[in-house]
Structure 1
Amino acid sequence: MIKSKQHNEGSPSLAARFWRTTVESLSAAVSGPRLQLAAKAGLAAGLAFLVAPLMPGAAAQYPYYAPLGALVAMYENVAGSMRQGVQTLIGLGLGIGLAFLLVSFSDPTPVTVAIVMGLGVLLAGLPRLGAGRDWIPTAALLVLLVGGNNPDDFSFGYLVQMGVGVVVGIAVNVLVFPPLHFKAAALSLAELRWALAKQLSDMGAAMREKWPPEHEEWAVRSEALAQSARDVRTAVQKADASRQANPRRRLHDHNVDRDYNDLRGLESVTFHIQDMTEVLADVIWDEDAPFVIPLPYSEPLADALDAVSEVLRSMEDEQPDKQNELIGSAKAAVDALAERMASDDVNPHAPSAAESIVLTLHRILRVVTAGQS
């Protein structure tokens, strides 16, 4: 079958996969959003360290914890910064309280440290602590081992300076170009539409070629399409999170609810196209497949696939009138083929897979039409 053939002949070498993974990782590390986040983190850490010596009492003796707090609170969106900062301070408070509870009974010993760590890990299992859960045992251990003979001053300074850093980090994230990821979500949706449209047109081309067709790439894209749909959902969710508590959202009108609606439609279309891909690949390359596509249906089925592909492409650039025209043409092509198959008796010896594909195309058009309303 084609899948094993492509796996054996076309799979990249281990070195090629390693190189591609390395390049992709480096590209992600130096991407625009990542560079912006790094710059803001550096600015927040510097400002936090600048104001840290101005804190009252013993807190001024521990200025190095303020930049740490700023880094802890630095997140890719404003709401995430606030949530992560608050959760961290709660975790610190719980860890310091735990350490004080045990210090009041004895000096730090291996047994005391073991008990604190065990209880800290247990408390870290409390629900909704988020980023704060990891700071419970960390804070408790620092109080026991770094606080030494003066745990009161250390705990006060530690918590205050971390709080200062968190406040500075959140302020920087709010005031210095808080990111909105609307464009990335829209681009991801457009790319998935294009990929789905290309899959349909490639299957249409396969229907016109002599079987087995020369172009085989479309037959092994099913998982790639599913991964693309998952990536788009992540992008839309990221865009939704970026607008929460973001003052710039008032300057950038964007309908995230429409993005979710488009996403649900594209996820449904992806599922249907995956199903068509498997059916058509089995008909072409699986000799034991119990169904066929009769030759008289090949050309009209290719036309129907192309027509639905054009509908998906039109969602990006065409005007509503042009979109409606293309939808009407696609419906006419699909309905005409369905009526023809209902009246014909082309091959009574094996069930026709064309009926399954036509039904799937009808479902795709129904999803697209619902998304237009």
Structure 2
Amino acid sequence: MSGGRTTADQTDQGRFALMARWWRRALAYDGDERDTLRIIGKSTLAATLAWLVSYVALDARSPAFAPFSAVLIMQVTVYRSVVQSLRYVGAVVAGVAVQAALGFLAGPDLLTFVLVAVIALAIGRWQVLGAQGPQVATAAFFAFATYTSASADSQRLRALGEIVLLVLIGCAIGIAVNVLVAPPLRYRGAEYGIRGLAHTLKDLLADMYPVLAEGVPDQDTTGGWRSRAARTGGMIGQAWWGLETSKESLYLNPRRLLRRYRGHPGFQGYESVLGALERTLYQVAALTRGLDRSREEEGEALGPFLRRYAAFLEAAGEVAAVLTTLDETTLLPQAKRLERLTDDAEARRDDVVQETRERSLSLADPSMPYGILVTEATRLLEEFRYTSRVLLEVAQDAERSSGERKQRGRSAGGG
């Protein structure tokens, strides 16, 4: 028997290592891992309280409706919990109403069930109910089962009303727990999205400029750059989702009234920066296509041109590196540094243009790559300039607001 480790042992160790890293991230900082633990804990608390109310206090016939509802509407933001609870209650009421109307009119037979299913499924397609649409049919089917198990009309009415009551109780408890127990406030979610996109941009540029500095890249290299640039669409979508979630987390959230959250610069600036980063990544994708095309150009002028272009991309990567560490607590110095680095990138772009002039390279000839690459560099630079300007304005506004609050505080203390 071999004394070495088997593949299964290695797989188990890999899984344990992944789990250990997951728990270290959850305990170290506020991120997705800690959000997961927070949602699990709050859902457990809400479900337990809902069960106690429905089973112990009310002695309901179907107490599980309450904890199920409490868990179902536990969302990543308070606003989303309220919206989903309203839709869920509407779906349940609609399903129970369909069953009540048809049950009392036609009786609890198979034809009635078919009609209930058809109507409930049709109502569930209503866009107003959103993701809770399928709950119309679910509630109708449970209501039908409850209706058939009761013997008298009064018992049936009471049972159907109890379903609606339990759902209301569960939703109310779920919302209360989400509001009162560490309500999610995702100010930093917008920053995380911007950092992620900036990391992608920085890494891509960091791979490009050393190759260009050495000469004309081969087809596999430029094709790889194009593929990486084309795959950023999913990350862009995630970044926008993070921004929208951050904005949603403010609605109906009592934590935003606390003093330490009043100095937040807001999301309008981050929204502009995220839009600029999205356009920047598209410009880089176009730039990689231009570099791919440059392989077709022969001549001794292409190498020096690409070396100048590599210097520009290196400077652009320095700009992206600042965005990878974007932090609202140090936004003003970061914005000023971003402005200086953008000036450096502009100087490198000017060197590229100067190179084309010294070597009489045509920027207007569409059959040559020079004009395309200079145009994409200029557009890339414009987005960086816009980003630095937006962040500087946001940081200065935040500084002024903070100064005004401190002044009011000193005035109030002196009074």
| 8 Å Cα contact 2:353/2:374 also seen in 1 | yes
Specify which of 179, 202, 211 is matched with residue 206 of structure 1: 211
| 8 Å Cα contact 1:301/1:354 also seen in 2 | no
Residue 133 of structure 1 corresponds to: 133
Aligned residues: 347
**Superposed displacement of residue 290, structure 1:** 6.8
Q: How does 1:78-93 map to 2 (within 5 A)?
A: 78-93=78-93
Residue 238 of structure 1 corresponds to: 245
The 1:193/1:31 distance shift into structure 2, 3 A limit, reads same
Residue 4 of structure 1 corresponds to: none
**Superposed displacement of residue 27, structure 1:** 6.3
What TM-score does the superposition give when structure 2 sets the normalisation length? 0.75
Specify which of 250, 266, 269 is matched with residue 258 of structure 1: 269
**Superposed displacement of residue 45, structure 1:** 0.6
Do residues 74 (structure 1) and 87 (structure 2) align?
A: no
Residue 12 of structure 1 corresponds to: none
DSSP 3-state at the match of 1:221: helix
Instruction: Determine what percentage of the aligned residue pairs are the same residue.
Output: 22
The 1:185/1:295 distance shift into structure 2, 3 A limit, reads same
Do residues 307 (structure 1) and 315 (structure 2) align?
A: yes
Do residues 331 (structure 1) and 351 (structure 2) align?
A: no
Residue 194 of structure 2 corresponds to: 189
Provide the C-alpha distance between the structure 2 equivalents of 1:262 and 1:346, rounded to a whole number of angstroms. 34
Specify which of 251, 275, 278 is matched with residue 289 of structure 2: 278
The 1:71/1:321 distance shift into structure 2, 3 A limit, reads closer
Provide the C-alpha distance between the structure 1 equivalents of 2:89 and 2:337, rounded to a whole number of angstroms. 56
The 1:271/1:138 distance shift into structure 2, 3 A limit, reads same
DSSP 3-state at the match of 1:243: coil
| 8 Å Cα contact 1:124/1:134 also seen in 2 | yes
Moved more, 269-278 or 359-368: 359-368
The 1:214/1:290 distance shift into structure 2, 3 A limit, reads closer
Task: Name the amino acid aligned to 2:292.
Answer: A
Moved more, 247-256 or 104-113: 247-256
DSSP 3-state at the match of 2:106: coil
Do residues 269 (structure 1) and 269 (structure 2) align?
A: no
Query: Over aligned residues, Cα RMSD in angstroms?
Result: 3.1
C-alpha distance after superposition, 1:304-326 (max 9, x if no partner): 11122222223447644433332
Do residues 47 (structure 1) and 11 (structure 2) align?
A: no
Provide the C-alpha distance between the structure 2 equivalents of 1:167 and 1:320, rounded to a whole number of angstroms. 44
Residue 34 of structure 1 corresponds to: 36
| 8 Å Cα contact 1:268/1:367 also seen in 2 | yes
The runs of 5 or more residues in structure 1 that have no matched partner are: 1-15
Residue 109 of structure 2 corresponds to: 109
Task: Name the amino acid aligned to 1:250.
Answer: L
The runs of 5 or more residues in structure 2 that have no matched partner are: 1-10, 27-31, 327-332, 390-415
**Superposed displacement of residue 152, structure 1:** 0.6
What TM-score does the superposition give when structure 1 sets the normalisation length? 0.83
Provide the C-alpha distance between the structure 2 equivalents of 1:40 and 1:197, rounded to a whole number of angstroms. 38
Provide the C-alpha distance between the structure 2 equivalents of 1:331 and 1:210, rounded to a whole number of angstroms. 22
